[in-house]
Amino acid sequence: MGGYIHFNGEQVLADEKLAGARNRGLRYGDGLFETMLITDGKIRLASFHFDRLLNGLQTLQIHIPAFLSPDYLAEAIISLCRKNNLEKLARARLNIFRGDGSPTNLENIIPSIVIESEPLPEDYTHYNKEGLEIGIYKEVRKSCDILSNLKSNNFLPYLMAATYAKQQRLNDCLLLNSYDRICDATIANMFWVKNSQVFTPPLSEGCVAGVMRRFLLEKMRNAGYAVEEMICVKQKLAEADEIFLTNALFGIRWVRQLRDKTYSNKFSAQLYKQFIQKP
């Protein structure tokens, strides 16, 4: 990756050394990240991203310096995109991780901040007309606890599921929680539709608290759609009319096939046009 990154208040070359071997983020995955869509010099759903980030920092008991405000982070992100000539359409990744030390001894309480930016293809945020083919990954189960909803640097369950999806030539995989119920996908939340009613697993099922998930739930409820957060066993998806995935970058992507079941996309296409598509 060329260009520049933001590291602790400075814009430095992207190949700059950022952390030593004693760094707790490197050793233990002790940190959080946010992946954001930049369009026309603005962060989509910025307030949702920063709300989740700051709540996550509090959950992990990571020291939050006084300067580390949403306004500071937004300015740092947009400034980096401007430096890299990526204001029109880009992905920005914000990573905050703890300093050096052992599990019981933190040598530096001030966390490090790394921001990266990279271009996205022009059609990345378009509705996917072809549909996704997905599977279910069974080898690793997500727990349902105070860490489950975080965008944590400890990303192994999702990395393993993504590796499985690639090996099986699938577009994505759903993950199961410790109760053998579906919680989310490798980089997205999952919704399903039955008889024009929309469902998604509640956060208590171990899914990441997705910002697009939150946005769509609010928008759909305000618009009068029938929406319910419900636990999802595999049979629910076998009986569903539609399945779609959501995240902050692509918005909505519909699923064409899961196992032997083929799905339609009328409802998800309608939601995309109503809430995601630019006028």
Is a pLDDT exceeding 90 seen at residue 173? yes
46's CB contacts (< 8 A; 6+ apart) are: 36, 70, 74
Helix (H, G, I), strand (E, B) or coil at 28: helix
pLDDT interval class at 71 (50, 70, 90): very high
Tell me what pLDDT residue 110 has. Answer: 87
Identify the pLDDT of residue 44: 97
Please give the DSSP secondary-structure letter assigned to residue 168: T
Instruction: Please tell me the predicted confidence (pLDDT) of residue 1.
Output: 55
pLDDT at 273 over 90: yes
Residue 108's pLDDT band (cuts 50, 70, 90): confident
Q: Tally helices (H) and strands (E) across the chain.
A: 7, 17
How many angstroms separate the CA atoms of 31 and 9, rounded?
Answer: 18
- The pLDDT of residue 279 is 56
pLDDT digits (tens, 9 = 90+) for 193-234: 999 999 999 999 999 999 999 999 999 999 999 999 999 999
Ranking 99-103, 112-116, 118-122, 182-186 by mean pLDDT, the lowest is: 99-103
In this structure, what is the dihedral angle of CA atoms 159, 165, 168, 174, given to the nearest 10 degrees?
A: 120
What pLDDT score does 263 carry? 98
**What is the pLDDT of the chain when averaged over all its residues?**
95
pLDDT tens profile 11-51: 999 988 888 888 888 889 999 999 999 999 999 999 999 99
DSSP 99-121: -BEETTEES--SPEEEEEEEE--
CA distance 119 to 23: 29
CB 92, CB 46: distance < 8 Å: no
Check if the beta carbon of residue 11 is closer than 8 Å to that of residue 83.
Answer: yes
Q: How sure is the predictor about 144, in pLDDT bands with cuts at 50, 70 and 90?
A: very high
Residues 279, 132, 196, 247, CA torsion sign: negative
**Spatial separation of the C-alpha atoms in residues 121 and 236, rounded to whole Å:** 34
DSSP H helical segments within the chain, as ranges? 24-28, 46-59, 70-83, 156-167, 211-222, 234-238, 266-271
- Tell me the per-residue pLDDT of 245-270, one tens digit each, with 9 for 90 and over: 999 999 999 999 999 999 999 999 99
Question: Is-contact 142 206, C-beta < 8 A?
Answer: yes
| pLDDT for the residue numbered 2 | 65
Low-confidence winner among 14-18, 74-78, 92-96, 250-254 (lowest mean pLDDT): 14-18
Give how far the C-alpha of residue 64 lies from the chain's centroid of Cα atoms, to the nearest Å: 22
Distance CA 94, CA 120 (A): 16
Domains by residue range for the chain, with CATH: 4-119 (3.30.470.10), 132-276 (3.20.10.10)
pLDDT at 113 over 60: yes
Burial-class residue 160 by CB neighbours within 10 Å (0-12, 13-18, 19+): middle
What is the chain's Cα-based Rg? 19
- Beta carbons of 237 and 201 less than 8 angstroms apart: no
Residue 239: predicted pLDDT: 97
What is the total residue count of the chain? Answer: 279
> What is the structure's pLDDT at 125?
92
pTM of the model: 0.95
